[in-house]
Amino acid sequence: MRHHSLKNKKICVISTFGHNGIDWLHSLIDSHPDVLIMPGFSFYRTIDKIQTILNVKSLSKLSSELLASTFVKLFFEDPGYQVVRRKFINNKDERDRFKDSLMHYLSVSEADCIDRRLFFGLHFSFAEVKRIDLDCIKVIVIQEHVPWHSMKYKKIFNPYFVFMMRDPRAALIGSWIRLKSANVSGMINSYQFDHTLLYWKYAEAFVKKIAFSNRCKIMKNEDMHDNLSHEMDELCKWLSIDYNNSCLYETFLGRRWLGESVYLAVDELKEPPPENFYNKNEIEKRWRNSISLREIKIIESVYRDIFSTYNYMPDNNNNNKLIDIWAGNLNCMMINTLDSDSKFSLVIFLKIVRNFSRRFLILYCPLRVRSFFNIL
């Protein structure tokens, strides 16, 4: 088993400002011969899940056997890992080989940091199961579906970052539609609403304040639809890999992927979308028919810097005066903070205070929110 060179590979994290087509980007990178990319399992989100399963705050003191068994059980049996974009262990033979490879790597790795041992161990085991020659690999690409693990990546791996971007109005209303359809009430609750807000505020703050410009690239969903070959060619140059025609085709582990859209299905599509479905006029027509004027005003106010920086045209004239900034944020903080129709009580009052406080931190201190609230 050759794993000595894996830790010397370039690492690139693809993440998102929120509901912007990160799985689409992943699927375009999937079959590139220079890239080692596992299906979209999200390394740090998976670690959070493993810690919950084992009821521990850290994985550092657990045995290699327990870690390998728990990871492989999650990947092989959990329904969340059975969709096309995440499934990679197809049978018991692959399951056993993955477990044995991971146990081996964890046992021989000299890395002090459990994150590094697990990250490289999982990728090494994946390469073993799929018989990928690591000597041909130039870059490891990992999808992290939420941006608020970016700080950990930067500290531990010092990777390159690619963030997917899209018109915030189109992205947020798509997120809200999906969340509403998944709820029995047909309504979005305050936690879910704040979750979608944090995607954008955290990614914005991280890119602006933390990420080094030469190690961070923005991929705009609209530009990719406009000229996919040009955008993917630029991405390959940025990653120092050769452009490959596979970058124009959506696959996961070489299997064709038809994408996903809240306007067509609950999850992955079973058949190709209608012709011109991703035409920019059709896209705008869909989100405008699904969003209120108040929601547009709030989004344009709260994310006014994103509209300006990434050249999205707002409907409303949001000046940079402090009064406009405060008014927009206050309007955002006042909506959707009450989750219950019950009569007023102390418990409901405390929930409102909690929700209001969480919203305030998201808007003004997004990089610190998870120090106070458990947002997964």
Q: Which residue has the tokens 């690591």?
A: 134
Question: Angle, nearest 10°, between helix axes 346-364 and 190-205?
Answer: 20
User: Quick one: pLDDT at residue 17?
Assistant: 95
Q: HSE (CB half, 13 Å, CA atoms) of 188?
A: 19
Distance (Å, rounded) from C-alpha 162 to C-alpha 7? 20
Distance (Å, rounded) from C-alpha 376 to C-alpha 370? 9
| 31 pLDDT higher than 60 | yes
How far out from the chain centre does Cα 55 lie? Answer: 24
* Total Cβ atoms within 10 A of residue 341: 7
DSSP label at residue 343: P
Helical (H) or strand (E) element with 216: strand 216-220
The two beta strands, 251-252 and 255-256, are: antiparallel
User: Quick one: pLDDT at residue 342?
Assistant: 53
User: Quick one: pLDDT at residue 5?
Assistant: 72
Binned at pLDDT 50, 70 and 90, residue 188 comes out as confident
Q: What domains are there in the chain, each with its CATH number? A: 6-166+198-256 (3.40.50)
Distance (Å, rounded) from C-alpha 320 to C-alpha 305? 9
User: Quick one: pLDDT at residue 157?
Assistant: 95
Q: Which residue has the higher pLDDT, 211 or 93?
A: 93
Q: Which residue has the tokens 């947020």?
A: 172
Q: What share of the chain in percent tops pLDDT 90?
A: 67
| 119 pLDDT higher than 70 | yes
What strands lie across the sheet with 35-37, from one edge to the other?
A: 35-37, 139-143, 10-16, 160-165, 216-220
Distance (Å, rounded) from C-alpha 374 to C-alpha 143? 21
Distance (Å, rounded) from C-alpha 367 to C-alpha 196? 15
Distance (Å, rounded) from C-alpha 112 to C-alpha 8? 16
* 8 Å CB contact between 84 and 268: yes
Least confident stretch, 114-118, 157-161, 255-259 = 255-259
User: Quick one: pLDDT at residue 326?
Assistant: 72
User: Quick one: pLDDT at residue 337?
Assistant: 58
Query: What does the block give as tokens for 209?
Result: 């304040």
Least confident stretch, 18-27, 169-178, 183-192, 231-240 = 183-192
Distance (Å, rounded) from C-alpha 29 to C-alpha 33? 9
* 8 Å CB contact between 15 and 163: yes
Q: Provide mean pLDDT across the span 302-317.
A: 91
* 8 Å CB contact between 254 and 31: yes
Q: Which residue has the higher pLDDT, 353 or 327?
A: 353
User: Quick one: pLDDT at residue 323?
Assistant: 67
* 8 Å CB contact between 146 and 374: no
223-267 tens-digit pLDDT: 999 999 999 999 999 999 999 999 999 999 989 999 889 898 878
